[in-house]
Structure 1
């Protein structure tokens, strides 16, 4: 009877602890977890399971490594918030697989992503023909984001061409890879921003470009 009470106590304690831990780590869907998040969650779940089964082991032997993992994970998350480069290293960054209807085979090879994977994920989004795709972006989670040609709603008698809103600045850092996708460079971006009264890209938290229009959000939450 005593052993069952110990199992009950450990189960409730670890359940509450894991619930608090997951709340501290933030709200993210399972499909949006990074590889690092997923590994940490698996490790915590495995250690909790072993602790419930092995009632003779001191509970601190389980709690200590779990707490250490949580501290590491939260520290990495805070560093990721402050640094786009660090975020790209830890979580990875999106990869453009199809750009303006053209498949980038080199990026597919670099991501070890084959045509079977591509066609499967297109079918899951009810896209039966690659020719209908303007942009396809492989997200760090492995999810494929698809933008079809001529998608969008009617506005003022003209149809949105479905072009992708590319982020050109994130956390004050210019995204030169995305500038290359639209055949532009850093000098062009800085000149366009100056025309709008923004002289320091380091003060911009997010800037995107779509159909010739800019969206700019400043770090102090002002927007234009």
Structure 2
């Protein structure tokens, strides 16, 4: 017969689980922040980190790597708490938010490539021009500004004096 109470008892002290969850979350957050924006893909870095850590913490409780489901629940709660807390701090204090949250980085300014930002993101010129083509732009000189956004996507602001193929047509009247 199953001992249901064994599933819900903690096998480790709550304090130890909180410390483990905190160190893991903040350590991985720092590492992902250092890696760069392009590596985090279409999700925000914090979103990606939360998904990975919650899946890992929850799977430990489900697969038996942790002693009980309660251990996994404490870790999931710790991870969610830190995610919400860091978002709240970044919102409340924008100066701190600049450290916690990635900002857009200019890849093209006034039709010229920003090689420093490209090196930081390990982007070759061919990758930038490929992204421009997805926006309907053939020549870098047609771009006023292009940014790599915090979610890894590239946004493009074309020059006003040039036409692009993805310019919306006026509505029919």
Please state which band the TM-score falls in when normalised by the shorter chain: 0.5 to 0.7
Note the 1:132-151 alignment, pairs <5 A. 132-150=142-160
Equivalent position to 2:63, from 53, 66, 86: 53
Equivalent position to 1:128, from 127, 138, 141: 138
* CA–CA separation in structure 1 for the residues paired with 2:94 and 2:123: 24
Which runs of no fewer than 5 residues in structure 2 stay unpaired? 3-39
Give the direction of change, closer, same or farther, for the CA distance of 1:43–1:142 in structure 2 (3 Å limit): same
Does the 8 A contact of 2:60 with 2:66 survive in 1? Answer: no
* CA–CA separation in structure 1 for the residues paired with 2:150 and 2:87: 15
Equivalent position to 1:87, from 73, 93, 97: 97
Structure that is richer in strand per residue: 1
Does the 8 A contact of 2:149 with 2:155 survive in 1? Answer: yes
CA deviations 1:38-88 (Å, max 9, x no partner) are: 112111012222322229831111000111111111110001102222222
Give the direction of change, closer, same or farther, for the CA distance of 1:87–1:114 in structure 2 (3 Å limit): farther
- Is 1:78 aligned to 2:78, yes or no? no
Number of residue equivalences = 131
Deviation, structure 1 residue 89: 1.5
CA deviations 1:170-217 (Å, max 9, x no partner) are: xxxxxxxxxxxxxxxxxxxxxxxxxxxxxxxxxxxxxxxxxxxxxxxx
* CA–CA separation in structure 1 for the residues paired with 2:134 and 2:93: 34
* CA–CA separation in structure 2 for the residues paired with 1:42 and 1:154: 42
Give the direction of change, closer, same or farther, for the CA distance of 1:148–1:53 in structure 2 (3 Å limit): same
Give the direction of change, closer, same or farther, for the CA distance of 1:55–1:116 in structure 2 (3 Å limit): same
Equivalent position to 1:36, from 31, 35, 46: 46
Instruction: State TM-score, norm by structure 2.
Output: 0.62
Instruction: State TM-score, norm by structure 1.
Output: 0.49
Does the 8 A contact of 2:66 with 2:72 survive in 1? Answer: no
Give the direction of change, closer, same or farther, for the CA distance of 1:32–1:88 in structure 2 (3 Å limit): farther
* CA–CA separation in structure 2 for the residues paired with 1:64 and 1:119: 46
Structure that is richer in helix per residue: 2
Give the direction of change, closer, same or farther, for the CA distance of 1:56–1:43 in structure 2 (3 Å limit): closer
Report the aligned-residue RMSD: 3.2
Does the 8 A contact of 1:36 with 1:90 survive in 2? Answer: no
* CA–CA separation in structure 1 for the residues paired with 2:61 and 2:145: 47
Give the direction of change, closer, same or farther, for the CA distance of 1:35–1:133 in structure 2 (3 Å limit): same
What is aligned with 2:121? 111
